[in-house]
Chains A and B, each alone.
Chain A
Amino acid sequence: MKNPVTELFGKSPIKPLQDHMALVAQCALELPAFLAAAIADDWQAAEAHYDSICNNENKADDIKRELRLRMPKSLFMPVSRTDLLELLTVQDNIANRARDIAGLMLGRRMGVPAPIQEEMRLLVESAVDTTRQALRVINELDELLETGFFGREVDFVEQLIRELDEKERIADAIERSIRRKLFAVEKDYHPIDMMFLYDIIQKVGGLANRARRVGGRLQTLVAR
Protein backbone atom coordinates (compact mmCIF):
# COMPACT_ATOMS: atom_id res chain seq x y z
CA MET A 1 0.00 0.00 0.00
CA LYS A 2 1.20 3.51 -0.68
CA ASN A 3 1.95 4.72 2.74
CA PRO A 4 0.75 8.22 3.67
CA VAL A 5 3.46 8.56 6.29
CA THR A 6 6.34 7.74 3.98
CA GLU A 7 4.80 9.59 1.04
CA LEU A 8 4.65 12.67 3.22
CA PHE A 9 8.40 13.05 3.51
CA GLY A 10 10.08 14.63 0.52
CA LYS A 11 13.81 14.58 0.01
CA SER A 12 15.59 17.45 1.66
CA PRO A 13 17.12 19.91 -0.82
CA ILE A 14 19.59 21.16 1.80
CA LYS A 15 22.29 18.50 1.46
CA PRO A 16 22.41 18.58 -2.36
CA LEU A 17 22.52 22.38 -2.23
CA GLN A 18 25.52 22.18 0.08
CA ASP A 19 27.19 19.55 -2.08
CA HIS A 20 26.62 21.78 -5.09
CA MET A 21 28.22 24.75 -3.36
CA ALA A 22 31.20 22.63 -2.29
CA LEU A 23 31.84 21.65 -5.92
CA VAL A 24 31.36 25.22 -7.08
CA ALA A 25 33.85 26.48 -4.51
CA GLN A 26 36.24 23.76 -5.67
CA CYS A 27 36.13 25.29 -9.15
CA ALA A 28 37.08 28.71 -7.81
CA LEU A 29 39.76 27.26 -5.53
CA GLU A 30 41.55 25.94 -8.59
CA LEU A 31 42.08 29.46 -9.98
CA PRO A 32 45.17 30.57 -7.97
CA ALA A 33 47.08 27.49 -9.12
CA PHE A 34 45.83 28.07 -12.66
CA LEU A 35 47.02 31.69 -12.57
CA ALA A 36 50.43 30.66 -11.21
CA ALA A 37 50.81 28.20 -14.08
CA ALA A 38 49.73 30.86 -16.60
CA ILE A 39 52.21 33.38 -15.22
CA ALA A 40 54.95 30.75 -15.32
CA ASP A 41 53.95 30.10 -18.95
CA ASP A 42 53.40 26.41 -18.10
CA TRP A 43 50.32 25.80 -20.27
CA GLN A 44 50.33 22.07 -19.74
CA ALA A 45 49.83 22.53 -16.02
CA ALA A 46 47.31 25.29 -16.71
CA GLU A 47 45.30 22.95 -18.91
CA ALA A 48 45.25 20.31 -16.18
CA HIS A 49 43.79 22.88 -13.79
CA TYR A 50 41.27 23.95 -16.39
CA ASP A 51 40.18 20.33 -16.89
CA SER A 52 39.74 19.91 -13.19
CA ILE A 53 37.57 23.05 -13.08
CA CYS A 54 35.41 21.74 -15.95
CA ASN A 55 35.11 18.39 -14.28
CA ASN A 56 33.81 19.90 -11.03
CA GLU A 57 31.59 22.25 -12.94
CA ASN A 58 29.99 19.30 -14.72
CA LYS A 59 29.41 17.48 -11.46
CA ALA A 60 27.80 20.61 -10.03
CA ASP A 61 25.59 20.84 -13.11
CA ASP A 62 24.36 17.29 -12.52
CA ILE A 63 23.36 18.10 -8.97
CA LYS A 64 21.67 21.29 -10.16
CA ARG A 65 19.62 19.46 -12.75
CA GLU A 66 18.53 16.72 -10.37
CA LEU A 67 17.65 19.18 -7.64
CA ARG A 68 15.49 21.24 -10.00
CA LEU A 69 13.67 18.14 -11.17
CA ARG A 70 12.75 16.96 -7.72
CA MET A 71 11.48 20.22 -6.32
CA PRO A 72 7.86 20.16 -7.48
CA LYS A 73 5.48 22.94 -6.50
CA SER A 74 3.58 20.66 -4.16
CA LEU A 75 6.61 20.44 -1.88
CA PHE A 76 6.13 22.26 1.39
CA MET A 77 9.42 23.63 2.69
CA PRO A 78 10.51 25.92 5.50
CA VAL A 79 11.96 28.25 2.88
CA SER A 80 10.48 29.53 -0.33
CA ARG A 81 11.01 27.27 -3.31
CA THR A 82 11.68 30.20 -5.62
CA ASP A 83 14.38 31.56 -3.31
CA LEU A 84 15.96 28.13 -3.12
CA LEU A 85 16.06 27.75 -6.89
CA GLU A 86 17.48 31.28 -7.24
CA LEU A 87 20.18 30.44 -4.73
CA LEU A 88 21.05 27.39 -6.78
CA THR A 89 21.39 29.54 -9.91
CA VAL A 90 23.57 32.08 -8.13
CA GLN A 91 25.82 29.30 -6.86
CA ASP A 92 26.01 27.82 -10.31
CA ASN A 93 27.11 31.15 -11.76
CA ILE A 94 30.27 31.01 -9.64
CA ALA A 95 31.37 27.78 -11.28
CA ASN A 96 30.54 29.07 -14.75
CA ARG A 97 32.50 32.21 -14.06
CA ALA A 98 35.56 30.30 -12.85
CA ARG A 99 35.43 28.14 -15.97
CA ASP A 100 35.09 31.19 -18.25
CA ILE A 101 38.12 32.90 -16.70
CA ALA A 102 40.34 29.82 -17.01
CA GLY A 103 38.96 28.98 -20.46
CA LEU A 104 39.62 32.41 -21.89
CA MET A 105 43.12 32.67 -20.49
CA LEU A 106 43.99 29.17 -21.65
CA GLY A 107 42.53 29.70 -25.11
CA ARG A 108 44.52 32.84 -25.72
CA ARG A 109 47.61 31.71 -23.80
CA MET A 110 47.30 34.95 -21.87
CA GLY A 111 50.20 35.91 -19.69
CA VAL A 112 50.06 38.66 -17.08
CA PRO A 113 52.39 41.69 -17.49
CA ALA A 114 55.05 41.75 -14.79
CA PRO A 115 53.98 45.11 -13.23
CA ILE A 116 50.56 43.78 -12.25
CA GLN A 117 51.37 40.11 -11.56
CA GLU A 118 51.43 40.50 -7.79
CA GLU A 119 48.18 42.46 -7.74
CA MET A 120 46.58 39.89 -10.02
CA ARG A 121 47.48 37.14 -7.60
CA LEU A 122 45.97 39.16 -4.79
CA LEU A 123 42.78 39.76 -6.75
CA VAL A 124 42.29 36.08 -7.54
CA GLU A 125 43.11 35.11 -3.97
CA SER A 126 40.61 37.65 -2.71
CA ALA A 127 37.86 36.40 -5.03
CA VAL A 128 38.58 32.84 -3.92
CA ASP A 129 38.46 33.94 -0.30
CA THR A 130 35.04 35.44 -0.89
CA THR A 131 33.87 32.18 -2.44
CA ARG A 132 35.22 30.24 0.52
CA GLN A 133 33.21 32.46 2.83
CA ALA A 134 30.10 31.87 0.72
CA LEU A 135 30.65 28.13 1.17
CA ARG A 136 30.93 28.65 4.91
CA VAL A 137 27.57 30.45 4.85
CA ILE A 138 25.92 27.67 2.83
CA ASN A 139 27.32 25.08 5.21
CA GLU A 140 25.23 26.67 7.94
CA LEU A 141 22.04 25.72 6.12
CA ASP A 142 21.66 22.39 7.93
CA GLU A 143 22.16 24.09 11.29
CA LEU A 144 19.60 26.70 10.24
CA LEU A 145 17.14 23.93 9.48
CA GLU A 146 17.88 22.26 12.82
CA THR A 147 16.93 25.42 14.70
CA GLY A 148 13.92 25.96 12.46
CA PHE A 149 15.43 29.14 10.94
CA PHE A 150 15.13 30.82 14.25
CA GLY A 151 17.09 32.71 16.89
CA ARG A 152 20.82 32.72 17.47
CA GLU A 153 21.68 30.58 14.49
CA VAL A 154 20.09 33.21 12.24
CA ASP A 155 22.14 35.93 13.95
CA PHE A 156 25.26 33.84 13.47
CA VAL A 157 24.57 33.43 9.77
CA GLU A 158 23.92 37.18 9.45
CA GLN A 159 27.36 37.72 10.97
CA LEU A 160 28.91 35.35 8.40
CA ILE A 161 27.12 37.21 5.63
CA ARG A 162 28.47 40.56 6.90
CA GLU A 163 31.98 39.07 6.73
CA LEU A 164 31.21 37.89 3.23
CA ASP A 165 30.24 41.40 2.16
CA GLU A 166 33.44 42.73 3.68
CA LYS A 167 35.54 40.25 1.72
CA GLU A 168 33.84 41.25 -1.49
CA ARG A 169 34.58 44.91 -0.79
CA ILE A 170 38.27 44.04 -0.47
CA ALA A 171 38.20 42.26 -3.81
CA ASP A 172 36.49 45.30 -5.27
CA ALA A 173 39.20 47.63 -4.02
CA ILE A 174 41.94 45.41 -5.45
CA GLU A 175 40.11 45.33 -8.76
CA ARG A 176 40.04 49.13 -8.92
CA SER A 177 43.70 49.46 -8.05
CA ILE A 178 44.79 46.83 -10.56
CA ARG A 179 42.90 48.64 -13.34
CA ARG A 180 44.67 51.87 -12.48
CA LYS A 181 48.04 50.15 -12.63
CA LEU A 182 47.28 48.46 -15.89
CA PHE A 183 46.12 51.73 -17.40
CA ALA A 184 49.53 53.22 -16.64
CA VAL A 185 51.41 50.52 -18.53
CA GLU A 186 48.88 49.32 -21.12
CA LYS A 187 50.49 51.20 -24.00
CA ASP A 188 53.60 49.03 -23.71
CA TYR A 189 51.69 45.90 -24.68
CA HIS A 190 49.61 44.61 -27.55
CA PRO A 191 46.21 46.37 -27.52
CA ILE A 192 44.12 43.22 -28.03
CA ASP A 193 45.89 41.47 -25.17
CA MET A 194 45.13 44.46 -23.01
CA MET A 195 41.45 44.44 -23.95
CA PHE A 196 41.17 40.83 -22.92
CA LEU A 197 43.15 41.39 -19.76
CA TYR A 198 40.70 44.09 -18.70
CA ASP A 199 37.97 41.58 -19.39
CA ILE A 200 39.65 38.96 -17.20
CA ILE A 201 40.09 41.45 -14.37
CA GLN A 202 36.44 42.33 -14.56
CA LYS A 203 35.47 38.67 -14.61
CA VAL A 204 37.54 37.88 -11.51
CA GLY A 205 35.93 40.82 -9.75
CA GLY A 206 32.60 39.43 -10.92
CA LEU A 207 33.44 36.10 -9.34
CA ALA A 208 33.70 37.75 -5.93
CA ASN A 209 30.52 39.64 -6.64
CA ARG A 210 28.66 36.43 -7.41
CA ALA A 211 29.95 34.80 -4.26
CA ARG A 212 28.56 37.75 -2.32
CA ARG A 213 25.19 37.30 -3.97
CA VAL A 214 25.02 33.81 -2.46
CA GLY A 215 24.91 35.53 0.92
CA GLY A 216 22.27 37.97 -0.26
CA ARG A 217 20.07 35.15 -1.54
CA LEU A 218 20.44 33.23 1.68
CA GLN A 219 19.36 36.29 3.62
CA THR A 220 16.06 36.57 1.76
CA LEU A 221 15.67 32.81 2.12
CA VAL A 222 15.94 32.95 5.90
CA ALA A 223 13.85 36.09 6.29
CA ARG A 224 10.72 34.83 4.48
Chain B
Amino acid sequence: MDPTTLSLLITIAKIVVLVGALMTAAAYFVLVERWIAAWVQDRKGPNRVGLPLTKFRMFGLGQPLADGLKFIFKEEYVPKNVDRWLYTLAPVVLLAAALAAFAVIPFGDTIPVDAGAAGDGETSTGSGFIKLLVAPHVDVGMLYVFALSSMAVYGVILGGWSSNNKYGYLGALRSSAQMIAYELPLGLGILGVVLMTGSLRLDLIVSHQADVGVWNAFAQPLGFVVFVVAAFAEAARLPFDLPECEQELIGGYHTEYSGMRLILFLIGEFMHMITASLLIVLLFLGGWHFWGLTGGEFTGWVDAILKIVILIVKTVAVILFFMLVRWSWPRFRFDQLMSLAWKVMLPLGMLNLAVVAVLNEPAFQQYLGGGSTFVFVTINILVAAVAWIVTALLQPLAADNRPRSVEKTW
Protein backbone atom coordinates (compact mmCIF):
# COMPACT_ATOMS: atom_id res chain seq x y z
CA MET B 1 0.00 0.00 0.00
CA ASP B 2 1.45 3.34 -0.96
CA PRO B 3 2.06 5.89 1.80
CA THR B 4 -0.62 8.32 0.61
CA THR B 5 -3.41 5.76 0.82
CA LEU B 6 -2.14 4.55 4.16
CA SER B 7 -2.00 8.07 5.49
CA LEU B 8 -5.51 8.72 4.24
CA LEU B 9 -6.81 5.53 5.86
CA ILE B 10 -5.15 6.37 9.18
CA THR B 11 -6.63 9.85 9.12
CA ILE B 12 -10.10 8.49 8.36
CA ALA B 13 -9.76 6.00 11.20
CA LYS B 14 -8.76 8.82 13.54
CA ILE B 15 -11.73 10.92 12.45
CA VAL B 16 -14.15 8.03 12.97
CA VAL B 17 -12.79 7.30 16.44
CA LEU B 18 -12.75 10.96 17.41
CA VAL B 19 -16.29 11.74 16.22
CA GLY B 20 -17.63 8.60 17.86
CA ALA B 21 -15.89 9.42 21.12
CA LEU B 22 -17.04 13.03 21.05
CA MET B 23 -20.67 12.14 20.36
CA THR B 24 -20.67 9.63 23.22
CA ALA B 25 -18.91 12.12 25.46
CA ALA B 26 -21.46 14.82 24.63
CA ALA B 27 -24.34 12.45 25.40
CA TYR B 28 -22.82 11.53 28.74
CA PHE B 29 -21.99 15.13 29.58
CA VAL B 30 -25.70 15.86 29.23
CA LEU B 31 -26.27 13.23 31.90
CA VAL B 32 -23.50 14.68 34.07
CA GLU B 33 -24.98 18.14 33.61
CA ARG B 34 -28.36 16.87 34.80
CA TRP B 35 -26.74 15.11 37.75
CA ILE B 36 -24.88 18.22 38.81
CA ALA B 37 -28.00 20.33 38.40
CA ALA B 38 -29.89 17.89 40.61
CA TRP B 39 -27.18 17.50 43.25
CA VAL B 40 -26.68 21.22 43.61
CA GLN B 41 -30.42 21.55 44.21
CA ASP B 42 -30.35 18.71 46.78
CA ARG B 43 -32.09 16.31 44.42
CA LYS B 44 -30.90 12.89 43.26
CA GLY B 45 -31.11 13.41 39.52
CA PRO B 46 -31.68 10.79 36.83
CA ASN B 47 -30.92 7.41 38.42
CA ARG B 48 -33.56 5.08 36.99
CA VAL B 49 -32.70 4.26 33.39
CA GLY B 50 -30.20 1.43 33.09
CA LEU B 51 -29.88 -1.44 30.68
CA PRO B 52 -32.86 -1.45 28.34
CA LEU B 53 -35.52 -4.12 28.99
CA THR B 54 -33.89 -5.19 32.25
CA LYS B 55 -34.13 -4.14 35.85
CA PHE B 56 -30.49 -3.04 36.05
CA ARG B 57 -30.43 0.64 36.84
CA MET B 58 -26.69 1.35 36.83
CA PHE B 59 -27.15 4.76 38.47
CA GLY B 60 -29.03 6.04 35.43
CA LEU B 61 -26.22 5.45 32.97
CA GLY B 62 -28.76 4.41 30.32
CA GLN B 63 -30.29 7.87 30.36
CA PRO B 64 -28.35 9.27 27.34
CA LEU B 65 -29.67 6.42 25.18
CA ALA B 66 -33.23 7.12 26.30
CA ASP B 67 -32.77 10.84 25.71
CA GLY B 68 -31.42 10.22 22.23
CA LEU B 69 -34.27 7.86 21.36
CA LYS B 70 -36.77 10.39 22.63
CA PHE B 71 -35.34 13.05 20.33
CA ILE B 72 -35.30 10.70 17.36
CA PHE B 73 -38.92 9.65 17.78
CA LYS B 74 -40.22 13.17 18.37
CA GLU B 75 -42.16 14.84 15.64
CA GLU B 76 -39.90 17.08 13.61
CA TYR B 77 -42.24 19.99 13.29
CA VAL B 78 -41.35 22.71 10.79
CA PRO B 79 -43.29 25.95 11.23
CA LYS B 80 -45.10 27.35 8.22
CA ASN B 81 -43.17 30.51 7.42
CA VAL B 82 -39.60 29.41 7.90
CA ASP B 83 -36.91 29.63 5.26
CA ARG B 84 -36.73 25.88 4.87
CA TRP B 85 -33.31 25.67 3.28
CA LEU B 86 -31.50 27.79 5.85
CA TYR B 87 -33.64 26.31 8.62
CA THR B 88 -32.29 22.86 7.79
CA LEU B 89 -28.78 24.09 7.19
CA ALA B 90 -28.33 26.01 10.46
CA PRO B 91 -27.91 23.09 12.91
CA VAL B 92 -25.63 21.31 10.46
CA VAL B 93 -23.38 24.38 10.20
CA LEU B 94 -23.20 24.69 13.96
CA LEU B 95 -22.37 21.05 14.60
CA ALA B 96 -19.96 20.78 11.65
CA ALA B 97 -18.01 23.82 12.83
CA ALA B 98 -17.94 22.54 16.39
CA LEU B 99 -16.68 19.10 15.31
CA ALA B 100 -14.15 20.36 12.77
CA ALA B 101 -12.36 22.37 15.44
CA PHE B 102 -11.18 19.13 17.03
CA ALA B 103 -9.00 18.35 13.99
CA VAL B 104 -6.04 20.27 15.38
CA ILE B 105 -6.50 19.51 19.06
CA PRO B 106 -3.89 17.03 20.30
CA PHE B 107 -5.14 14.40 22.74
CA GLY B 108 -1.70 13.31 23.81
CA ASP B 109 1.95 13.67 23.09
CA THR B 110 3.64 12.32 19.95
CA ILE B 111 4.55 8.69 20.48
CA PRO B 112 7.46 7.05 18.63
CA VAL B 113 6.41 3.66 17.27
CA ASP B 114 9.56 2.00 18.49
CA ALA B 115 11.19 4.20 21.05
CA GLY B 116 14.83 4.76 20.26
CA ALA B 117 14.63 4.21 16.49
CA ALA B 118 15.00 7.44 14.64
CA GLY B 119 11.80 8.30 12.83
CA ASP B 120 11.51 11.17 10.44
CA GLY B 121 8.95 12.88 12.65
CA GLU B 122 7.44 14.72 9.75
CA THR B 123 4.71 12.28 8.76
CA SER B 124 1.81 10.81 10.58
CA THR B 125 1.84 7.67 8.46
CA GLY B 126 3.27 5.40 11.10
CA SER B 127 6.78 5.42 9.68
CA GLY B 128 8.11 6.59 13.01
CA PHE B 129 5.61 8.43 15.08
CA ILE B 130 2.02 8.11 16.16
CA LYS B 131 0.30 11.44 16.61
CA LEU B 132 -2.86 11.62 18.64
CA LEU B 133 -4.06 14.37 16.40
CA VAL B 134 -6.22 14.26 13.27
CA ALA B 135 -4.34 16.95 11.38
CA PRO B 136 -0.76 17.16 12.59
CA HIS B 137 1.56 19.98 11.60
CA VAL B 138 -1.11 22.57 11.06
CA ASP B 139 1.04 25.53 11.94
CA VAL B 140 -1.94 27.84 12.18
CA GLY B 141 -3.66 25.47 14.61
CA MET B 142 -4.81 28.11 17.04
CA LEU B 143 -6.10 30.39 14.27
CA TYR B 144 -7.98 27.45 12.77
CA VAL B 145 -9.81 26.76 16.04
CA PHE B 146 -10.57 30.45 16.26
CA ALA B 147 -11.96 30.65 12.75
CA LEU B 148 -14.18 27.62 13.27
CA SER B 149 -15.54 28.79 16.60
CA SER B 150 -16.56 32.00 14.84
CA MET B 151 -18.14 29.96 12.05
CA ALA B 152 -20.43 28.40 14.61
CA VAL B 153 -22.06 31.80 15.11
CA TYR B 154 -23.34 31.49 11.55
CA GLY B 155 -25.27 28.42 12.59
CA VAL B 156 -26.84 30.36 15.45
CA ILE B 157 -27.66 33.41 13.33
CA LEU B 158 -29.05 31.34 10.46
CA GLY B 159 -31.15 29.32 12.87
CA GLY B 160 -32.54 32.42 14.55
CA TRP B 161 -33.18 34.27 11.32
CA SER B 162 -34.62 31.46 9.22
CA SER B 163 -37.09 30.33 11.86
CA ASN B 164 -38.99 33.61 11.42
CA ASN B 165 -39.60 34.07 15.11
CA LYS B 166 -39.04 37.15 17.27
CA TYR B 167 -37.48 35.22 20.11
CA GLY B 168 -35.28 33.26 17.77
CA TYR B 169 -34.11 36.40 16.05
CA LEU B 170 -33.43 38.20 19.34
CA GLY B 171 -31.37 35.23 20.45
CA ALA B 172 -29.42 35.27 17.21
CA LEU B 173 -28.79 39.02 17.48
CA ARG B 174 -27.61 38.68 21.04
CA SER B 175 -25.42 35.79 20.07
CA SER B 176 -23.69 37.69 17.29
CA ALA B 177 -23.10 40.75 19.47
CA GLN B 178 -21.76 38.59 22.25
CA MET B 179 -19.47 36.58 20.00
CA ILE B 180 -17.98 39.69 18.42
CA ALA B 181 -17.43 41.27 21.81
CA TYR B 182 -15.80 38.24 23.40
CA GLU B 183 -13.74 37.17 20.42
CA LEU B 184 -11.35 40.05 21.25
CA PRO B 185 -10.54 39.13 24.87
CA LEU B 186 -10.37 35.50 23.81
CA GLY B 187 -7.81 36.41 21.17
CA LEU B 188 -5.84 38.59 23.57
CA GLY B 189 -5.71 35.78 26.10
CA ILE B 190 -4.35 33.40 23.46
CA LEU B 191 -1.96 36.00 22.06
CA GLY B 192 -0.08 36.21 25.35
CA VAL B 193 0.45 32.45 25.30
CA VAL B 194 1.43 32.45 21.65
CA LEU B 195 3.91 35.25 22.27
CA MET B 196 5.53 33.29 25.07
CA THR B 197 5.69 30.03 23.12
CA GLY B 198 6.45 31.42 19.70
CA SER B 199 4.11 28.98 17.97
CA LEU B 200 0.44 28.62 17.14
CA ARG B 201 0.62 24.85 17.33
CA LEU B 202 -1.20 23.49 20.35
CA ASP B 203 1.20 20.58 20.88
CA LEU B 204 4.16 22.97 20.94
CA ILE B 205 2.37 25.23 23.39
CA VAL B 206 1.90 22.27 25.72
CA SER B 207 5.47 21.05 25.39
CA HIS B 208 6.69 24.58 26.10
CA GLN B 209 4.77 24.57 29.38
CA ALA B 210 6.14 21.11 30.14
CA ASP B 211 9.70 22.26 29.45
CA VAL B 212 9.45 25.35 31.63
CA GLY B 213 7.52 23.50 34.32
CA VAL B 214 5.24 26.43 35.00
CA TRP B 215 1.73 26.32 33.59
CA ASN B 216 0.60 29.40 31.75
CA ALA B 217 -2.22 29.87 34.24
CA PHE B 218 0.42 30.77 36.83
CA ALA B 219 2.74 32.54 34.44
CA GLN B 220 -0.05 34.76 33.09
CA PRO B 221 -2.89 34.84 35.64
CA LEU B 222 -4.47 37.88 34.02
CA GLY B 223 -4.50 36.24 30.60
CA PHE B 224 -5.92 33.10 32.18
CA VAL B 225 -8.85 34.92 33.81
CA VAL B 226 -9.57 36.88 30.64
CA PHE B 227 -9.45 33.73 28.54
CA VAL B 228 -11.65 31.68 30.87
CA VAL B 229 -14.30 34.41 31.06
CA ALA B 230 -14.24 34.83 27.29
CA ALA B 231 -14.40 31.04 26.81
CA PHE B 232 -17.53 30.91 28.99
CA ALA B 233 -19.06 33.63 26.82
CA GLU B 234 -18.04 31.92 23.60
CA ALA B 235 -19.55 28.64 24.73
CA ALA B 236 -22.69 30.62 25.71
CA ARG B 237 -22.72 29.01 29.15
CA LEU B 238 -24.18 30.63 32.19
CA PRO B 239 -23.64 33.37 33.33
CA PHE B 240 -23.28 34.35 29.65
CA ASP B 241 -26.09 32.30 28.13
CA LEU B 242 -28.02 35.30 26.84
CA PRO B 243 -28.46 33.94 23.29
CA GLU B 244 -30.66 31.17 24.61
CA CYS B 245 -31.92 32.22 28.00
CA GLU B 246 -35.00 30.15 28.63
CA GLN B 247 -36.77 32.63 30.87
CA GLU B 248 -36.53 35.62 28.53
CA LEU B 249 -36.25 34.13 25.07
CA ILE B 250 -37.84 30.67 25.51
CA GLY B 251 -34.70 29.05 24.15
CA GLY B 252 -33.53 31.85 21.87
CA TYR B 253 -32.33 30.81 18.46
CA HIS B 254 -33.58 27.22 18.74
CA THR B 255 -37.10 28.17 19.82
CA GLU B 256 -38.65 26.82 16.62
CA TYR B 257 -36.58 23.66 16.41
CA SER B 258 -37.63 20.19 17.47
CA GLY B 259 -36.58 16.59 17.12
CA MET B 260 -33.26 15.74 15.50
CA ARG B 261 -32.55 19.32 14.44
CA LEU B 262 -32.80 20.47 18.03
CA ILE B 263 -30.48 17.74 19.25
CA LEU B 264 -27.92 18.81 16.64
CA PHE B 265 -28.00 22.29 18.15
CA LEU B 266 -27.71 20.96 21.68
CA ILE B 267 -24.82 18.64 20.83
CA GLY B 268 -23.12 21.53 19.04
CA GLU B 269 -23.34 23.57 22.22
CA PHE B 270 -21.85 20.79 24.28
CA MET B 271 -19.07 20.44 21.72
CA HIS B 272 -18.35 24.11 22.21
CA MET B 273 -18.03 23.56 25.91
CA ILE B 274 -15.73 20.59 25.38
CA THR B 275 -13.59 22.61 22.94
CA ALA B 276 -13.43 25.51 25.37
CA SER B 277 -12.39 23.21 28.22
CA LEU B 278 -9.76 21.50 26.10
CA LEU B 279 -8.36 24.87 25.03
CA ILE B 280 -8.25 26.08 28.63
CA VAL B 281 -6.38 22.94 29.61
CA LEU B 282 -4.00 22.95 26.64
CA LEU B 283 -3.20 26.65 26.66
CA PHE B 284 -3.18 27.44 30.35
CA LEU B 285 -3.27 24.32 32.50
CA GLY B 286 -0.30 22.51 31.04
CA GLY B 287 -2.12 20.03 28.78
CA TRP B 288 -0.77 16.56 29.52
CA HIS B 289 1.96 17.85 31.80
CA PHE B 290 1.83 17.20 35.50
CA TRP B 291 4.71 17.72 37.88
CA GLY B 292 6.43 14.53 38.85
CA LEU B 293 4.22 12.36 36.64
CA THR B 294 4.73 13.41 33.05
CA GLY B 295 7.40 15.59 31.57
CA GLY B 296 8.02 16.88 28.08
CA GLU B 297 9.83 13.83 26.75
CA PHE B 298 8.69 10.40 25.76
CA THR B 299 9.82 7.80 28.26
CA GLY B 300 7.64 4.80 27.47
CA TRP B 301 4.16 3.56 26.81
CA VAL B 302 3.06 4.00 30.42
CA ASP B 303 4.06 7.61 30.17
CA ALA B 304 2.18 8.03 26.90
CA ILE B 305 -1.04 6.58 28.33
CA LEU B 306 -0.62 8.56 31.53
CA LYS B 307 -0.42 11.74 29.47
CA ILE B 308 -3.73 10.98 27.75
CA VAL B 309 -5.34 10.19 31.10
CA ILE B 310 -4.03 13.41 32.65
CA LEU B 311 -5.34 15.47 29.74
CA ILE B 312 -8.78 13.87 29.97
CA VAL B 313 -8.94 14.24 33.75
CA LYS B 314 -8.02 17.92 33.53
CA THR B 315 -10.58 18.51 30.78
CA VAL B 316 -13.35 16.78 32.70
CA ALA B 317 -12.45 18.82 35.78
CA VAL B 318 -12.77 22.04 33.78
CA ILE B 319 -16.11 20.87 32.35
CA LEU B 320 -17.35 20.11 35.87
CA PHE B 321 -16.31 23.63 36.80
CA PHE B 322 -18.34 24.94 33.86
CA MET B 323 -21.35 23.02 35.13
CA LEU B 324 -20.95 24.11 38.75
CA VAL B 325 -20.65 27.76 37.73
CA ARG B 326 -23.98 27.42 35.97
CA TRP B 327 -25.70 26.99 39.34
CA SER B 328 -23.55 29.46 41.25
CA TRP B 329 -23.93 32.61 39.25
CA PRO B 330 -27.00 34.42 37.93
CA ARG B 331 -27.12 35.58 34.34
CA PHE B 332 -25.68 38.97 33.40
CA ARG B 333 -27.87 41.70 32.04
CA PHE B 334 -27.04 42.38 28.41
CA ASP B 335 -25.56 45.85 28.98
CA GLN B 336 -23.44 44.44 31.80
CA LEU B 337 -22.29 41.69 29.49
CA MET B 338 -21.16 44.23 26.92
CA SER B 339 -19.52 46.46 29.55
CA LEU B 340 -17.66 43.47 30.90
CA ALA B 341 -16.28 42.65 27.47
CA TRP B 342 -15.33 46.13 26.33
CA LYS B 343 -14.53 47.93 29.58
CA VAL B 344 -12.95 45.18 31.66
CA MET B 345 -11.81 42.17 29.68
CA LEU B 346 -10.40 44.03 26.70
CA PRO B 347 -8.17 46.44 28.72
CA LEU B 348 -7.04 43.62 31.01
CA GLY B 349 -6.19 41.45 28.02
CA MET B 350 -4.23 44.31 26.41
CA LEU B 351 -2.34 44.88 29.65
CA ASN B 352 -1.48 41.21 29.90
CA LEU B 353 -0.28 41.17 26.31
CA ALA B 354 1.85 44.28 26.86
CA VAL B 355 3.45 42.87 30.01
CA VAL B 356 4.20 39.53 28.36
CA ALA B 357 5.62 41.30 25.31
CA VAL B 358 7.95 43.43 27.42
CA LEU B 359 9.07 40.50 29.55
CA ASN B 360 9.75 38.37 26.48
CA GLU B 361 12.02 41.02 24.98
CA PRO B 362 15.42 39.32 24.46
CA ALA B 363 17.29 42.23 26.02
CA PHE B 364 15.21 41.93 29.16
CA GLN B 365 15.69 38.17 29.26
CA GLN B 366 19.44 38.62 28.96
CA TYR B 367 19.45 41.17 31.73
CA LEU B 368 17.70 38.76 34.08
CA GLY B 369 19.85 35.79 33.22
CA GLY B 370 19.14 32.50 34.99
CA GLY B 371 16.16 33.27 37.21
CA SER B 372 14.05 34.67 34.45
CA THR B 373 11.09 32.28 34.89
CA PHE B 374 10.67 33.17 38.55
CA VAL B 375 10.87 36.91 37.88
CA PHE B 376 8.48 36.53 34.95
CA VAL B 377 5.87 34.78 37.08
CA THR B 378 6.24 37.20 39.98
CA ILE B 379 5.90 40.30 37.82
CA ASN B 380 2.88 38.85 36.05
CA ILE B 381 1.10 37.94 39.28
CA LEU B 382 1.81 41.38 40.75
CA VAL B 383 0.53 43.11 37.61
CA ALA B 384 -2.57 40.91 37.64
CA ALA B 385 -3.35 41.73 41.29
CA VAL B 386 -2.85 45.47 40.84
CA ALA B 387 -4.85 45.57 37.61
CA TRP B 388 -7.68 43.60 39.18
CA ILE B 389 -7.92 45.89 42.23
CA VAL B 390 -7.78 49.04 40.09
CA THR B 391 -10.55 47.68 37.85
CA ALA B 392 -12.59 46.78 40.90
CA LEU B 393 -12.30 50.27 42.37
CA LEU B 394 -13.28 51.92 39.07
CA GLN B 395 -16.49 49.84 39.00
CA PRO B 396 -16.99 49.85 35.24
CA LEU B 397 -20.01 47.56 35.46
CA ALA B 398 -22.04 49.78 37.76
CA ALA B 399 -24.90 51.21 35.73
CA ASP B 400 -27.41 53.68 37.11
CA ASN B 401 -30.50 53.62 34.95
CA ARG B 402 -32.79 55.62 37.17
CA PRO B 403 -34.53 58.65 35.69
CA ARG B 404 -32.89 61.17 38.02
CA SER B 405 -32.41 63.82 35.36
CA VAL B 406 -35.94 63.50 34.05
CA GLU B 407 -37.31 66.24 36.30
CA LYS B 408 -34.71 68.73 35.14
CA THR B 409 -35.22 68.17 31.45
CA TRP B 410 -38.99 68.25 31.66
A binds B: no
